Structure formats: structure tokens, C-alpha cells
């Protein structure tokens, strides 16, 4: 059987089972509202959203690899392109772009012009410090950690705070090769 090449984000997205976009937006909104009620502090909610995203990302990565057939990326630049063009397309239905590379190629920005999580959303004055889409930063961080990359992810631009796009800065801290034996101290 000849090896199958990597699939484009559009091709995968076209073949995947869909859900009503409004249901998705409403569900996410309900999660954020509940977290705000339970945790009260905006900073705590940001942290919890990131943690939830991380727990999603560590599982999502295998789904991504299985469906997209991408082979190992040669460098971090390729990784960022794959996340933006295939990953975001496959899971959110939007294509992101990669910009602002630093000199060593370890830090870049992923820019989203469109974001289904924030349809119909407006941040009230009481939630000014909230990163509403912080689950996304957790997802990317978790996913990359499972393929041996430790990253630091932060929001540079946020449309709910008045900017013209969503810009996520992704910084590669280090590549961590797998360690054997696993430490059983948790």
C-alpha cells in the first residue's frame, strides 16, 4: 500500500462531522460564565481556562496527527505553519497566519482574523483582565508538549479588548526528548 501523504486542513475539515456553531459558541460561553461565577477572580479564570485547554491539547494532538498524516516537522517554523494552516482549520474551521518571527526562529505570532469562540461576545467592564479565549493558548501548549516541545504562549492582541485581530505569541522554550523510565512520584 503506497504511503498516504499529509492532508490539507480544508480536506480534513470537509470530511469531519460537524456541530452547530451556535451550540459551540453558547457552550463555551456557558463555561466561561460558570468559571467567573465559581472563581470570581478574572486571573483565576484565565488560569483555569488555560489548564482546561492544556488537558484538551494533550489529547487532541493524537487526533490531529492521526487525521492529518503530517510527518515530523523539520523545524519550529514548519511546526507553526502546520498549527496555523492545518490545526486551526481542522478544529475551528478558520485559517490562521504566522508572522513576527524572531532571529533564531523560536518565537512567532499566530494571527486569527476570525474566531468562532467569540461570535456575539462583548466583554463587560468588570471583566477587563479576562482572556476570553485562553483555552486556545492551553490547547496549543498541551499539544506541543506531547510532541516534546515546551512552549510559552501569551496573547498579544485580543479582539474583545479592542484590537483588530487575535494574535497568539508562541515561544519555543526547549525541546524535551522523552525520558525513560517514567518517574512515578505523582
Partner 1 sequence: MAAIYSLYIISKSGGLIYYNQLSPVSGCFGIELLQADTFDLNCFQSLTGTKFFVVSEPGTQHMEGLLKHIYELYTDYVLKNPFYEMEMPIRCELCDINLTQAVQKDRVALLAR
Q: Given the rule CB under 8 A, which residues bind partner 1?
A: 1, 58-63, 65-67, 72, 146-147, 178, 180-182
Nearer to partner 1, 84 or 112 (CB): 84
Distance CA 92, CA 84 (A): 11
CB of residue 104 vs partner 1: minimum separation in angstroms?
23
Dihedral (Cα; 115, 71, 55, 148), 10-degree rounding? -120
CB of residue 67 vs partner 1: minimum separation in angstroms?
7
CB of residue 61 vs partner 1: minimum separation in angstroms?
6
Nearer to partner 1, 84 or 159 (CB): 84
Q: Are strands 149-157 and 166-175 parallel, antiparallel or unpaired?
A: antiparallel
Cis peptide before 181 (omega within 30 of 0): yes
CB of residue 62 vs partner 1: minimum separation in angstroms?
5
Distance CA 41, CA 38 (A): 9
Distance CA 13, CA 29 (A): 23
CB of residue 1 vs partner 1: minimum separation in angstroms?
6
Helix %, strand %, coil % of the chain (to 5): 50, 15, 35
Nearer to partner 1, 58 or 127 (CB): 58
CB of residue 123 vs partner 1: minimum separation in angstroms?
29
Nearer to partner 1, 4 or 23 (CB): 4
Distance CA 166, CA 148 (A): 26
CA 79 to chain centre: 13
Nearer to partner 1, 54 or 131 (CB): 54
Nearer to partner 1, 120 or 180 (CB): 180
Please say whether the beta carbons of 179 and 118 come within 8 A: no
Amino acid at each position: 500500500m503506497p504511503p498516504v501523504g499529509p492532508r490539507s486542513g480544508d480536506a480534513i475539515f470537509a470530511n469531519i462531522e460537524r456541530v452547530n456553531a451556535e451550540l459551540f459558541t453558547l457552550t463555551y460561553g456557558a463555561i466561561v460564565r460558570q468559571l467567573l461565577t465559581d472563581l470570581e477572580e478574572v486571573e483565576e479564570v484565565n488560569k483555569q481556562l488555560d489548564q482546561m485547554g492544556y488537558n484538551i491539547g494533550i489529547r487532541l494532538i493524537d487526533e490531529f496527527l492521526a487525521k492529518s498524516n503530517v510527518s515530523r516537522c523539520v523545524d519550529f517554523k514548519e511546526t507553526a505553519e502546520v498549527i496555523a494552516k492545518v490545526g486551526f482549520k481542522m478544529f475551528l474551521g478558520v485559517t490562521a497566519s504566522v508572522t513576527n518571527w524572531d532571529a533564531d526562529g523560536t518565537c512567532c505570532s499566530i494571527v486569527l482574523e476570525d474566531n468562532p469562540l467569540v461570535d456575539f461576545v462583548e466583554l463587560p467592564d468588570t471583566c477587563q483582565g479576562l482572556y476570553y479565549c485562553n483555552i486556545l493558548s492551553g490547547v496549543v501548549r498541551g499539544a506541543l508538549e506531547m510532541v516534546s516541545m515546551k512552549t510559552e504562549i501569551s496573547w498579544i492582541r485580543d479582539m474583545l479588548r479592542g484590537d483588530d485581530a487575535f494574535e497568539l505569541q508562541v515561544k519555543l522554550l526547549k525541546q524535551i526528548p522523552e525520558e525513560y523510565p517514567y518517574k512515578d512520584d505523582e
